[in-house]
Structure 1
Amino acid sequence: MTSLQPDAILDASGLNCPEPVMMLHNKVRDLHGGDLLKVIATDPSTRRDIPKFCVFLGHELLEQAEQDGQYLYWIRKKVD
């Protein structure tokens, strides 16, 4: 598992598409450029949706993992 220390954590466990990405969009707005966000999700569709979100908006997906039925993502907010 990663040793990255997030500035914020978004727990979207139990939520289904499109809620995790909608919550992610709102959470990223509250972060400063360069901040690291850890996202925890249980919806398998996030494996597709979160990487696409990052590419589309220019954020950096540093790492993603699957552990004990959870999908974990570490996202660095783009610096404006």
Structure 2
Amino acid sequence: MIETEPGDEVDARGLLCPLPVLRLRKRLMSAPPGTRLRLIATDPAAVVDVPHFCAEGGHVMVEMRDLGDGAREFTVERGQVSRPATR
């Protein structure tokens, strides 16, 4: 695992599906495998979308926690090989 700096987060508050996951994906793909990023999202669908994105992409959702005011923080570790998403 590569520890990240305090600023290594994706702030997706106020964005609706699929934008929070798309922003997370963009940041993860520019980071080396093992890097952890935090996604902050207020979209209620993120509770389903982020774990699904991680499972499909070969990433690990390390933690999800409620920040209050409808926001949640997801800590995601980039996997070794990203598999293409299927629908």
Separation in structure 2 between the aligned mates of residue 35 and residue 48 of structure 1, nearest angstrom? 22
1:21 aligns with 21
- Give, as a single letter, the amino acid of the residue that structure 1 aligns with 2:65: A
- Seq. identity, %: 32
| Secondary structure of 1:20's aligned partner | helix
Normalization by structure 1: what TM-score?
0.87
Per-residue CA deviations over 1:38-80 (Å, capped at 9, x if unaligned) read 0000001000000000000110001001121211100010124
Per-residue CA deviations over 1:4-31 (Å, capped at 9, x if unaligned) read x644211001100111111111111111
1:77 aligns with 78
Give runs of ≥4 in structure 1 deviating > 4 Å.
Answer: none
| Secondary structure of 2:15's aligned partner | coil
Q: Which has the larger radius of gyration?
A: 2
Q: Against the structure 1 CA distance between its residues 44 and 6, is the aligned structure 2 distance closer, same or farther, given a 3 Å change threshold?
A: farther
1:65 aligns with 65
- Give, as a single letter, the amino acid of the residue that structure 1 aligns with 2:46: T
Contact 2:12–2:20, Cα closer than 8 Å, also in 1: yes
Contact 1:17–1:45, Cα closer than 8 Å, also in 2: yes
Structure 2 unmatched ranges of 5 or more = 82-87
1:39 aligns with 39
For the aligned residue pairs, the C-alpha RMSD in angstroms reads 1.3
